[in-house]
Amino acid sequence: MTHSKKAIASARPMNIRKLMKSFTGLVNSEIDLGKESLKNMLTRSVAIAAATLFAACTPDPAPELNTLAETPATLTAAAAPELYGTLEPMASEAVYFVLTDRFVNGDTTNDQRTQGGKFPTFDQPTPGGPAGETDNVGYLGGDFRGLLNNARYIKDMGFGAVWITPIVDNPDEAFSGGKPAIWKGFFTDGGKTGYHGYWGVNFFELDEHLPSEDLNFKGLTTGLKQQGLKTVLDIVANHGSPSFSMPVDQPKFGEIYDANGTLIADHQNLPPDKLDPKNNLLHRFYTKKTELAELSDNDEDNPAVLEYFVSAYLQWIDQGADAFRVDTVRHMKNSFWHDFNARIRAKHPGFFMFGESYDYSAEKIAVHTLAENGAMSVLDFPLKAAIESAFGKPLELNKPKAGFNAIADALYLENGPYANPYELMSFYDNHDMARFSGSDTDFINAHNFLFTARGIPIIYYGSETGFMRGTAEHAGNRNYFGQANIDAATKSIIYQQLQRIAKVRSTNIALQRGLQLNLVMQHDQAAFLRVYQHAGQSQTALVLLNKGAVPLEYVLDVRVPGGTWKNAFDATAVEFRAGQTLTIPANGVQVYLRDQAVDSALATSLRGRMAH
């Protein structure tokens, strides 16, 4: 059994290409020799062969058996088989997602408060909101300085990376076409600005609202790195800005400029079906399709489009971007992403990217993870739905939350459609949907799961305090957070408990990259192992979760190794013994660590779960 239905040779370099299989004899052993001497190889082979023989002679425990077995002698680090979910470096970093304009205004001199003339861009309240509630479709001043000033705040929560919205130049006026933006409106862009960054005009140039005189993008990424934070840059290739339906054509809308500031594409305020790419050079960048409101649709079959975006985004990598979040990947052909990713990785081997394919079907979004389609990770929408059902406020009155069994089905730990489920981006909300709706306790329980289970967790700015919980786009989802909220955040119980579990993940490789073996996933209780063994380093984590209002008991499963473990929160030693019962407090999490290789029986059962 493998992670995927297809064995994939990833486009990103892997540290190990061959994984050891069960031994039927020394002559049939498969070991990646690397730099090992023949003597070391033989010693290792005999040890593993003996361990495998022992496992083969030991009957498998009954699945329902819930008592602790005596643990066989542990393999030495040199003899321990390779067991891990992923070796991807980005998997070690939890990600804090910032919509830059809405985070903190650290420099008011770049606010451009008079920009736009009769189509002003600063502080434009969304029409139609109820009394006492706010939303805004204009710029509100968040910038690089505000982000960098609060890098320590983000790092201290336990995050290792910051995902920021697109930084490229957007139009300088509010859009006069389309349907007027209204409270809770969907695909209504009239009167809206490019505060979010997704309406690119010149993809080589910074939008003027973001940098300061002494802080450009390179300065930002350098400053974040000094605080221990990687930069995940949001990129767009599918579309540009709103491009038609304006009463009178507006500057920059529907236009694209190159690195020299030369106009290379212009929709000319024409609807897509009126474009004439055969006879008008400025139309050749676009298709004649209408997909997302009035946004221009870039032609992925035009080689010039690929060249443009490869060149533009290589520039931002050179200035410090560590990874890409790729917008609207399902709206472009897989062949485009294969070629784009290959070109990026030719210059920057192993460069990590994850795409947004807004679909709750695992089979549909998984295609982007395959090597032939570009080998990128994706935002895990199916798991998001399961998390919401298990932890969020039920949509129907008096309907109970789903149990952990609903989440188990969405993890796809074995025989799933993904190239590797351990590299997926786990989340419960973002800027394109309603924020997570639940009590403080619901947030805490969701975080306890996100930061211990497989995948790379993402938290949307403000969720550490329950900011604007339950609000949709154009109804408060993207409201301004601000320095005052950051300064008060540490008083929030959500923040305190998020920091507690995020710090544990940030310092323990098993929670970042280890294989996951579910022991119990039902009702309000979850128990699972995370196992990491690679290059002489071994760590196993036992995670116990209770999302219910009363304490629960857990009797140690036969697959849990006995002996001395360490409490991950206070470092106290704990002895696990046969028949031991552990009590999980209401709405609680317990994590125990063991820095030794697992026994041969457990290793054998886990080896089949690795991607080959």
Tens of pLDDT, residue by residue over 83-98, are 999 999 999 999 999 9
- Evaluate if residue 288 carries a pLDDT over 80: yes
- CATH assignment at residue 524: 2.60.40.1180
b/e sequence 243-280, b meaning 16+ C-beta within 10 Å: bbbbeebbebbbbbbbeeeeebbbbbbbebeebeeeee
Is the Cβ–Cβ distance between 588 and 527 less than 8 Å?
no
**Which of 509, 532, 562 delimits the end of a domain?**
509
The three-state secondary structure class of 330 is helix
Residue 154 and residue 235 share a domain: yes
Instruction: Give kind and range of the element (H or E) at residue 516.
Output: strand 515-522
Same domain, 56 and 103: no
Q: Please tell me the total count of domains within the chain.
A: 2
Task: Identify the band that residue 398 occupies on the pLDDT scale cut at 50, 70 and 90.
Answer: confident
Question: Taking 50 as the threshold, does the pLDDT of residue 113 lie above it?
Answer: yes
Same domain, 529 and 451: no
- CATH number of domain containing 490: 3.20.20.80
Tokens 């995670």 belong to which residue?
543
Same domain? For 504 and 388 the reply is yes
In a domain, 219, yes or no: yes
Domain boundary among 445, 479, 509: 509
539 and 468 inside one domain: no
Same domain, 499 and 525: no
Angle at 458 (CA atoms; ends 453, 459), nearest 5 degrees: 115
Q: Is the pLDDT of residue 306 over 90?
A: yes
Dist. CA 367–CA 457, nearest whole Å: 21
- If pLDDT is split at 50, 70 and 90, which confidence band does 611 have? low
pLDDT of 55 strictly over 50: no
End-to-end CA distance of the chain: 10
Q: Which two tokens stand for residue 448?
A: 């306890």
Is residue 99 in a domain? yes
For residue 9, tell me if it sits in a domain. no
Where in the sequence is the domain holding 552, given as residue range(s)? 26-87+513-607
Range in 1-15, 165-179, 327-341, 570-584 the model is least confident about? 1-15
Is there a single domain that holds both residue 366 and residue 504? yes
Burial of 598 (0-12, 13-18, 19+ CB in 10 A): buried
Per-residue tokens: 569 = 């929160």
* Alpha carbon distances (Å) from 603 to 54, 84, 282: 12, 11, 60
Per residue, the 3-state secondary structure of 226-277, as one string, reads HCCCEEEEEECCCEEEECECCCCCCCCCCEEECCCCCEEEECCECCHHHCCC
Distance CA 529, CA 509 (A): 13
Please identify which residue in the block is written with the tokens 């459609």: 417
- My answer on whether 467 and 542 are in the same domain is no
Query: Which of 493, 509, 525 lies at the terminal end of a domain, its last residue?
Result: 509
Among candidate residues 50, 158, 91, the one with its CA nearest the CA of residue 515:
91
Residues 276 and 308 in one domain: yes
Q: Are residues 63 and 158 in the same domain?
A: no
Q: For residue 146, which amino acid is it?
A: G
Phi, psi (rounded to 5 degrees) for 249:
-55, 130
pLDDT band at 324 (very low <50, low <70, confident <90, very high): very high
Q: What is the three-class DSSP state of 376?
A: coil
Asked if the structure places residue 42 within a domain, the reply is yes
Q: How many whole angstroms separate alpha carbon 286 and alpha carbon 428? A: 34
Domain annotation covers residue 405 = yes
Q: What would the mean pLDDT of 454-467 be, rounded to a whole number? A: 98
Asked if residue 584 lies in contact with residue 590, where contact means CB atoms within 8 angstroms, the answer is: yes
419 touches 611 (CB < 8 A) = yes
Q: Are residues 50 and 107 in the same domain?
A: no
- For helices 440-450 and 381-391, the axis angle rounded to 10 degrees is 140
Are residue 247 and residue 354 in the same domain, yes or no? yes
Does residue 5 form part of some domain? no
The residue with greater pLDDT, 212 or 610, is: 212
pLDDT in tens, 528-547: 999 999 999 999 999 999 99
Please provide residue 168's backbone torsions phi and psi, each rounded to the nearest 5 degrees: -80, 165
Q: What is the pLDDT of residue 399?
A: 84
What CA–CA distances, in Å, run from 465 to 146, 272, 440, 488, 508?
Answer: 19, 44, 8, 9, 25
Per-residue DSSP letter, 101: G
Per-residue confidence band for 75, with pLDDT thresholds at 50, 70 and 90? low
Q: What is the pLDDT of residue 76?
A: 58
pLDDT given for residue 290 in this prediction: 86
Closest CA to 254 of 242, 236, 271: 242
> What pLDDT, in 10s, does the model give residues 594-604?
999 999 999 99
This prediction's pTM: 0.88
Closest CA to 192 of 253, 121, 292: 121
Residues in CB range of 427: below 8 A, 6 or more apart? 97, 379, 380, 384, 450, 457, 458, 459, 460
pLDDT tens-digit series, residues 145-201: 999 999 999 999 999 999 999 999 999 999 999 999 999 998 899 999 999 999 999
Alpha-carbon distance of 510 to 529, in angstroms, equals 9
- 169 part of a folded domain: yes
What pLDDT does residue 69 have?
A: 38
Q: How far is CA 163 from CA 196, 236, 315, 426, 526, in A?
A: 13, 14, 18, 14, 30
Return d(Cα 36, Cα 34) in angstroms, integer. 6
Both tokens of 139, joined, read 């710029």
In this predicted structure, the answer to whether residue 60 has a pLDDT above a threshold of 60 is no
Within a domain: 372: yes
